[in-house]
Amino acid sequence: MEKTKVSEILLSYPEINEWFDSIPEELKFLAKNIKKRLKKEKDLVIAITGHEEGIGKSSFSILLGFLIDMINFDLRQNIAYIANSDTIKKQFWDIPQESYLSLDEAIKALYKMDFNSQLQKLLIMMYATERWQKKCTGLCIPRFNDLTEQFRNHKVRLWIKIMKRGYAVVHTKDVDDDYDPWKLEWERKYREKNWSGRHVVDISFAERMKLERAKSTFVTEFRIPELPRILFNRYEEIKKEIHSKESQEDDDESARIHKYKETIFKLCQHIKMIQPDATIPKLSAIMGLNDSTLRDIINKFGKIEDFRKSQRKNRIMEQLPNFAQKVS
């Protein structure tokens, strides 16, 4: 039977003690405080950001989830690999209390699910109606601004910014500042004052860290140890498996939709043969579609003109008696 619990996978790692000792105390302390918050029946949403792909957002989220819930954290149960609202709701419901759900590569969910509305509404609803579950959600996204202003200002409590691979800073929301609780405007002014006119490549990591530490929301910083290869490989295997299955399901769904649209087109052709005066609005009403959708389908499989010629001919025929009467 495959092992998916992180604790069980790590048991077969010969250097587990050395690896665990390499985890910074600041990170362990952060996880400990998150656990305390969950025990007090308070939910928590964490934004995990990092502009570069491969900077380690997902790996860090796994590490944080394991530290929060060492006994139960599971690579299948505690990570949402796909952008499906039903899947996310089920996983959120199924994981134990005081546990952590990682929305892996949430940027894909952002665009696939219209994240700025649907997924964030889903999370708001879950936390509003099921606070008693005492659960934490981590959103792995490139930019903090990918979240709507309302969501990041009212639901996100911690912002973990991965500055470069292997190093992160933590910010907490200023609950007393309704206008700019994450000091984004302050940061913009700081950049203008100190970095205006400079090339981005000339701004050192030390200068960037100086900015982060100067923000009143700054909590801590720490080094992020690499996940043991045995754990990371297992995560990659599961992600590949799930994404492959999702891709196949998407292909099957696309084929079904294509066949459905083709059937609609053929039905419209048949109706047009029987009723030459059938207009696009009339055909749309019969099919239960709006006009623009039906036009797109017709253009995909045929020519929209073919559904207008008979109608135009009928109008001309209707006008002929009047024309003949005028001439006579």
d(CA 60, CA 169): 12
Contact 216, 183 (CB under 8 A): yes
Please calculate the CA angle 192-197-199 and round it to the nearest 5 degrees.
Answer: 110
Distance CA 72, CA 78 (A): 9
Q: CA 263, CA 280: separation in Å to the nearest integer?
A: 16
Q: 71-80, 100-109, 155-164: which range is least confident on average?
A: 100-109
Distances (CA, A) of 278 to 284, 314, 318: 10, 11, 15
State residue 316's pLDDT score: 45
Q: Is the pLDDT of residue 158 over 80?
A: yes
Range of weakest confidence among 17-31, 114-128, 152-166: 114-128
Average pLDDT for 166-178: 95
Count the residues in the chain. Answer: 328
pLDDT at residue 74, as a whole number: 96
- For the cut 80, the answer to whether the pLDDT of residue 273 exceeds it is yes
Phi-psi region of 129 (alpha: psi -120 to 50; beta: other; left: phi over 0): alpha
> Could you give the CA distance from residue 91 to residue 129 in angstroms, rounded to a whole number?
16
SS3 160: strand
Retrieve residue 285's tokens.
Answer: 């009403």
Mean pLDDT, residues 150-155: 85
- Per-residue confidence (pLDDT) for residue 113, from 0 to 100: 43
Query: pLDDT tens across 119-128, in order?
Result: 666 666 666 6
**Per-residue pLDDT at 322:** 55
Rounded Cα–Cα distance for residues 59 and 29 (Å)? 18
Closest CA to 43 of 174, 146, 158: 158
Whether 175 has a pLDDT exceeding 50, the answer reads yes
0.75 cut: is pTM over it? Answer: no
Q: What confidence score (pLDDT) does residue 262 get?
A: 85
Q: How many CB atoms lie within 10 A of CB 320?
A: 9
Alpha-carbon span 221 to 165, nearest angstrom: 13
Confidence of residue 160 (pLDDT cuts 50, 70, 90): very high
Report the C-alpha gap between 121 and 109 in whole angstroms.
13
Structure tokens at 113: 């699910």
Backbone angles phi and psi of 3, in degrees to 5: -95, 130
Backbone φ and ψ of 239, nearest 5° = -60, -45
- In the numeric block, the tokens 């952008």 are attached to 83
Strands 136-141 and 100-103: parallel
Question: Among 39-43, 74-78, 196-200, which stretch is predicted with the lowest mean pLDDT?
Answer: 39-43
Q: Is the pLDDT of residue 111 over 50?
A: no
Which of the residue ranges 205-219, 232-246, 300-314 would you say has the lowest mean pLDDT? 300-314
User: What pLDDT digit, counting tens, does each position of 128-138 carry?
Assistant: 655 557 899 99
pLDDT at 250: 52
